[in-house]
Structure 1
């Protein structure tokens, strides 16, 4: 059996509300003939008369009165939900879910995400960080954040900055005791902070120079699976650590850590936001993308930086070599 449409339900409620077909038709923007046809169609679908009508008046039947009492609140809830959806299209509000790997999340949290929340206080951001690569659509996320080489080909990618780099670093006191490594192989004689990947495997530190690719299975007194813990261990002088450069940038600038083997740490693809095509994106989503583009432009304009020049690598290779 065919289901009644919203306009047919609204027709009956409008007639009851106004007490006449003419006033109800004006309210709904219909002709009186179209309104009468809508009511007649609904009554045929239900198999019961809802309205008693003459040339002078209109009133509810008993069945019509029971119908309106039940349908009225439900239709009001539907209209309220539609108004809420329209409001989210006009004013940034609601929730945006973002999936990111931890280092990338740390890099954009303050300058992009927190700045966005200050500008749009009616928006809630649900940021989930994890090392594994997920299907953002299947997992219910609005956006993903990964290196450009891990962005799915069927999504839209927005580069957020210049190519990134790894950084090998230790405290000044540690290097005073053990000396400076000149080549990656020298690390085999140094205490190092080992890295465990999300899949449980130990990460082999990767280096590259002049086409020479070297992977070192370092040894040391501790194995950690979180970059912030590795940073604390390095600051305490436990050993040499292998980091994403943004995670220790302030420590390097302040002299708390000293970077080594700079000429052996290759560039990585730039950080990217990515998302499926959104034909009817919410106002919150559109505002976040606009602010992300502005953020990327400002980073590109900083001296000595440029967007997206790193060579792409296969996702499998990137996951094998990334410690964060």
Structure 2
């Protein structure tokens, strides 16, 4: 029997959390075969199969589930103990993993992170762009970014910026061919660039003016899944797009896009960084939170 390696237990947890060898390998920066070999060695050392493997999925066996139930609290305590030692260092180290929708990552989180990493050279940051609502604890993230009205009550949250607004835009070429809408309902007669959420639902467009609120389900031939794609489509004259102001500001100022229905903009909640209230916060994450608090208090330093 081979001796049991404690690091293989952490690898086992990673494989289950990530849903497969490849995803776990990417997170660790090693090959899938190395992860598979570690699991095989662990199963041989324990004398029992921990994972059911198919060509499409990996899932824990009953024994694997039982081990995970005891393993997760133990690994958490080990990580906490190691991180407590990190408090004795002059400079925090470690990794901060954050899940955020693409627009929040592009225009708010990435600029903050780039400056933060200059100040804290020993901290690694991983940002995963994902529009789906997930359990950040279960998926191994330190924090997430969402609208303020989408947060669970057991989360601590802090705003990352001002309230947001969507802009309705189209290229001058499109407007010459199809004309200009004068109200939200006019959009139903236009070729709109639609977006589908990861869960399959279609994004609706909401408007407000002088107490009048309108919500439409846009119609159009083109359906996409990201803001970057929508911007490219709008610039190409493929239709009318519904994008955050940050995405289109430069193109509107340069005349590549024309903003429409400006008096119908609806204010949205700001982006919030959120993290679990009942979980130990690492030294790296505490440094990141403190940096964001300072930036909120002194935005001119950014």
8 A contact 1:162–1:300 mirrored in 2: no
* Structure 2 Cα separation of the partners of residues 129 and 299 of structure 1: 24
Q: 1:296: which partner in 2?
A: 296
Q: 2:224: which partner in 1?
A: 224
8 A contact 2:108–2:161 mirrored in 1: no
- Change beyond 3 A, Cα 1:189–1:299: farther
Structure 2: gaps spanning 5 or more residues: 1-79
Q: Is the partner of 2:157 in helix, strand or coil?
A: strand
- Change beyond 3 A, Cα 1:229–1:280: closer
Q: Larger Rg: 1 or 2?
A: 1
* Structure 2 Cα separation of the partners of residues 274 and 84 of structure 1: 20
Structure 1: gaps spanning 5 or more residues: 1-80, 303-324
CA drift of 1:175 comes to 1.8
Q: 1:157: which partner in 2?
A: 157
1:138 aligned onto 2:135: no
Q: 2:118: which partner in 1?
A: 118
CA drift of 1:117 comes to 1.6
* Cα deviation 1:271-307 (Å, max 9, x = unaligned): 11111237853331121111111222344999xxxxx
- Change beyond 3 A, Cα 1:89–1:226: farther
Number of residue-to-residue matches in the alignment:
223
Measured on the aligned residues, the alpha-carbon RMSD in Å equals: 2.6
8 A contact 1:190–1:239 mirrored in 2: yes
- Change beyond 3 A, Cα 1:114–1:144: same
Q: Is the partner of 2:286 in helix, strand or coil?
A: helix
Q: Is the partner of 1:144 in helix, strand or coil?
A: strand
- Change beyond 3 A, Cα 1:156–1:99: same
Q: Is the partner of 2:249 in helix, strand or coil?
A: helix
* Cα deviation 1:35-56 (Å, max 9, x = unaligned): xxxxxxxxxxxxxxxxxxxxxx
* Cα deviation 1:28-75 (Å, max 9, x = unaligned): xxxxxxxxxxxxxxxxxxxxxxxxxxxxxxxxxxxxxxxxxxxxxxxx
* Structure 1 Cα separation of the partners of residues 97 and 115 of structure 2: 16
8 A contact 1:92–1:284 mirrored in 2: yes
Q: How does 1:269-308 map to 2 (within 5 A)?
A: 269-277=269-277, 281-299=281-299
Q: How does 1:54-65 map to 2 (within 5 A)?
A: none
8 A contact 1:171–1:256 mirrored in 2: yes
Q: Is the partner of 2:141 in helix, strand or coil?
A: coil
- Change beyond 3 A, Cα 1:198–1:89: farther
Q: How does 1:156-305 map to 2 (within 5 A)?
A: 156-277=156-277, 281-299=281-299
* Structure 2 Cα separation of the partners of residues 110 and 133 of structure 1: 20
Q: 1:106: which partner in 2?
A: 106
* Structure 2 Cα separation of the partners of residues 127 and 110 of structure 1: 8
